[in-house]
Amino acid sequence: MSSRKKPSRIEPFRHKVETDPRFFEKAWRKLDDAIREIYNHNASGLSFEELYRTAYNLVLHKHGPKLYDKLTENMEDHLQEMRVSIEAAQGGLFLVELQRKWDDHNKALQMIRDILMYMDRVFIPTNKKTPVFDLGLDLWRDTIVRSPKIHGRLLDTLLDLIHRERTGEVINRSLMRSTTKMLMDLGSSVYQDDFERPFLEVSASFYSGESQKFIECCSCGEYLKKAQQRLDEEAERVSQYMDAKTDEKITAVVVKEMLANHMQRLILMENSGLVNMLVEDKYEDLTMMYSLFQRVPDGHSTIKSVMNSHVKETGKDMVMDPERLKDPVDFVQRLLNEKDKYDSIVTTSFSNDKSFQNALNSSFEHFINLNNRCPEFISLYVDDKLRKGMKEANEEDVETVLDKVMMLFRYLQEKDLFEKYYKQHLAKRLLSGKAASDDSERSMLVKLKTECGYQFTSKLEGMFNDLKTSHDTTQRFYAGTPDLGDAPTISVQILTTGSWPTQPCNTCNLPPEILGVSEMFRGFYLGTHNGRRLTWQTNMGTADIKAVFGNGSKHELNVSTYQMCVLMLFNSADCLSYRDIEQTTAIPSADLKRCLQSLALVKGKNVLRKEPMSRDISDDDNFYVNDKFTSKLFKVKIGTVATQKESEPEKMETRQRVEEDRKPQIEAAIVRIMKSRRVLDHNSIVTEVTKQLQPRFMPNPVVIKKRVESLIEREFLERDKTDRKLYRYLA
């Protein structure tokens, strides 16, 4: 509570008034001298407090504007002195001197700003003047950098140094860095206008020249390498002594001059362009091309289209070459190899780019469907792989091959044609016991089912089931029928008619030994299964016959059913004429002729002898058992002379059947569509039908039109009375 009297009382506050008329002059002189000392590197002797107070008092007494103007004038004078000294510098010292003076100015400017802090804070915002530091920078810019003698010289020096570095010389990078930094500190517009823009222009013409020079003498791969080099170089240059924002601008310039302007020429270059790279699997060059042209507008699309046309062309040649068509398995293998080749190119060089993969797929689809035998050939290829005795004994290898084949399968537009052939080939495999691995067969079915749906494979699965059931049935037959005596052992395969490819059943008189046991089987089967009908398919069976020849050699012959019938006749006769055989066996003549050819005219398998020894079989030819028959093997297989590949008429027939099958499918699709849409115009019907049936085949618009008309006749649809193009669904 003690009220302590302060030792010194406070002076009353007085509003400051300055009456000295020379107040400003005196104060300014102090500051002027101080600034001079500062520029002469003598700042350490000055008192900040005093100078700050001086400036503070000036502003307090409303001398702000005068002070500001005096300051501007003063700095300009100092800068003029500096300018003279910079201009006088010779050659390489020009940049050095510029740098030195810039450092000096910067340091001085900071001190000046500190001294005049009060003016900066109080006077400048209210009067919208440039702050002291910025003022100093602007003055430097206008007095030095943009002075007539220095401006051009500075730019020329910088550009000259860069040019020298581009041609291989080593330059002083730190000096470059500090100079460009100075320009950046003066403002990004200074940097851009006084350096960057001219730099980009000069670079453009430099690279334009470079690219012209290189493209005349370099191969595509070499040129691309050089372009990449230059790009890397420029990026490094920017990071070393330019503003980071220049990086993308100079990259754009190089890309434009070296790549975009010459794109067509590079890609299409003879003997080293894209096509050559693809053919020779030049992965490195392709990778470079891909990554470089990524930056060029339309770069990738150009590459894609050139690649596409190349693939389509080579594919077309491959597919239409008549030589190749002679060996279906080889044909398909080549297609697979081609697919492998391009897949690895896309993976290795095009970094698995989806759009490239899609482009390839459409090219493959295009040329594979140019040859309408591809479905058949692909099925034959699979057939070959799944048969017994193939080289890839490994299960996994087979799986990989089948997966690759499925890729080709996807490209087919006529999948229903493939289905037909596959069924035929599968039937042959199963019935002749040639299917190598049940697992591989089923695996293929699963793949087809995944791709095309249940309907595609249901019948095929039925075939497998039939065989299994048949095996069981045969076993039960033998278990249940006690007395069979000497009857030959039969193995019966019961085929459900719908599942297996339909074959016309021909007549054939079986030898009595066979007939007996087969009829017993028929009785057994029909006893257990009500309402079914069995028909023997004599054109498909096989038989093992023990034969003893006149020369003593004993062999077991594996023959077809027809051949068996023929051979058994010779048990009761030595010589038989063609006519005899034909009559007794009732085998159709074309088949019979083929059968006899294989028995008598094939070297190494001629168990019969024909007289006369001509190549053709005529009605009067006589046949004898060949008592001189020899073979190294005990078991001799006598196949029928038949080609795997279809003959022309057979081919026509299959195609016709496929076309016939398509008609109801098209009609079903039309009805489905019209039922839900009620009213639709012709073009829309065509589009919708195509869309629905595409997974199986490409319907022909003409055929669609015919089907529509047929449906109109059968009163499923009607034409609209007013608009001929419109169709209406009739419930």
Partner 1 sequence: MDGSTSRVFSQAFPAWGHLRFMRRRELEEMGFVRDDRLTIECVVNVVLDPVVTAGDAPELDHPPSNILGHLAGLLGDKGTADVTLVVRGEEFAAHRAVLAMRSPVFKAALYGPMKESTDANAGRVAIDGVEPAVFRALLHFIYTDTTAAMDDLDDDDDTAQMIMHLLEAADRYDVERLKLICELMLCKSIAVDTVAATLAMADQHHCQKLKEACIEFLATSKKMEGVMESQGYKKMKLSCPSFMVDLWEIIGRKMTSYSVILNIYARDKD
| Residue ranges that bind partner 1, judged by CB under 8 A | 3-4, 6, 8-13, 15-17, 43-53, 56, 60, 62, 107, 111, 114-115, 117-118, 121-122, 126
* 491 secondary structure, DSSP code: -
SS3 labels along 217-241: HCCHHHHHHHHHHHHHHHHHHHHHH
**Cα distance between residue 367 and residue 313, in whole Å:** 8
**Cα distance between residue 650 and residue 239, in whole Å:** 73
**Cα distance between residue 386 and residue 389, in whole Å:** 9
How far is C-alpha 663 from the chain's CA centre? 36
To partner 1, the closest distance from the beta carbon of 53 in angstroms equals: 6
To partner 1, the closest distance from the beta carbon of 57 in angstroms equals: 8
**Cα distance between residue 729 and residue 384, in whole Å:** 48
Q: Where are the alpha helices (DSSP H) in 412-508?
A: 415-431, 438-452, 454-480
To partner 1, the closest distance from the beta carbon of 34 in angstroms equals: 9
Cβ closest to partner 1, residue 118 vs residue 549 = 118
To partner 1, the closest distance from the beta carbon of 178 in angstroms equals: 21
**680 contacts 726 by C-beta, under 8 angstroms:** yes
To partner 1, the closest distance from the beta carbon of 7 in angstroms equals: 9
To partner 1, the closest distance from the beta carbon of 72 in angstroms equals: 21
CA dihedral 482→486→488→493, nearest 10 degrees, is -10
Q: Which residue has the tokens 């960057």?
A: 196
To partner 1, the closest distance from the beta carbon of 18 in angstroms equals: 9
Cβ closest to partner 1, residue 1 vs residue 217 = 1
Cβ closest to partner 1, residue 42 vs residue 589 = 42
Cβ closest to partner 1, residue 57 vs residue 228 = 57
**123 contacts 59 by C-beta, under 8 angstroms:** yes
**638 contacts 631 by C-beta, under 8 angstroms:** no
Cα-Cα-Cα-Cα dihedral sign, residues 688, 690, 696, 700: positive
Q: Which residue has the tokens 């609209």?
A: 720
Cβ closest to partner 1, residue 11 vs residue 713 = 11
Cβ closest to partner 1, residue 11 vs residue 616 = 11
Give which of 365, 345, 370 is closest to 356, Cα–Cα.
345
How far is C-alpha 347 from the chain's CA centre? 8
To partner 1, the closest distance from the beta carbon of 119 in angstroms equals: 12
- Between strands 635-637 and 554-560, the pairing is parallel
Cβ closest to partner 1, residue 110 vs residue 665 = 110
To partner 1, the closest distance from the beta carbon of 36 in angstroms equals: 14
Cβ closest to partner 1, residue 51 vs residue 190 = 51
Cβ closest to partner 1, residue 16 vs residue 721 = 16
Cβ closest to partner 1, residue 11 vs residue 660 = 11
Cβ closest to partner 1, residue 123 vs residue 411 = 123
Please report, in angstroms and rounded to a whole number, the separation of the first and last CA atoms in the chain. 113
**Cα distance between residue 27 and residue 20, in whole Å:** 11
Which residues, including other chains, have CB under 8 Å from residue 660's CB and lie 6 or more apart? none
To partner 1, the closest distance from the beta carbon of 99 in angstroms equals: 20
Read off the amino acid at residue 363: S
To partner 1, the closest distance from the beta carbon of 131 in angstroms equals: 14
Cβ closest to partner 1, residue 6 vs residue 128 = 6
**51 contacts 111 by C-beta, under 8 angstroms:** no
Q: Which residue has the tokens 């900066």?
A: 120
To partner 1, the closest distance from the beta carbon of 46 in angstroms equals: 5
* 552 secondary structure, DSSP code: S
Cα separation values, 582 from 91, 544, 666, Å: 114, 22, 45
Work out the burial of residue 719: count CB atoms within 10 Å of its CB; fewer than 13 is exposed, 13-18 middle, 19 or more buried: middle
**580 contacts 658 by C-beta, under 8 angstroms:** no
Cβ closest to partner 1, residue 71 vs residue 686 = 71
SS3 labels along 315-365: HHHHHHCCCHHHCHHHHHHHHHHHHHHHHHHHHHCCCCCHHHHHHHHHHHH
To partner 1, the closest distance from the beta carbon of 62 in angstroms equals: 8
CB atoms within 10 A of CB 60: 13
Cβ closest to partner 1, residue 8 vs residue 394 = 8
To partner 1, the closest distance from the beta carbon of 10 in angstroms equals: 5
**Cα distance between residue 398 and residue 437, in whole Å:** 10
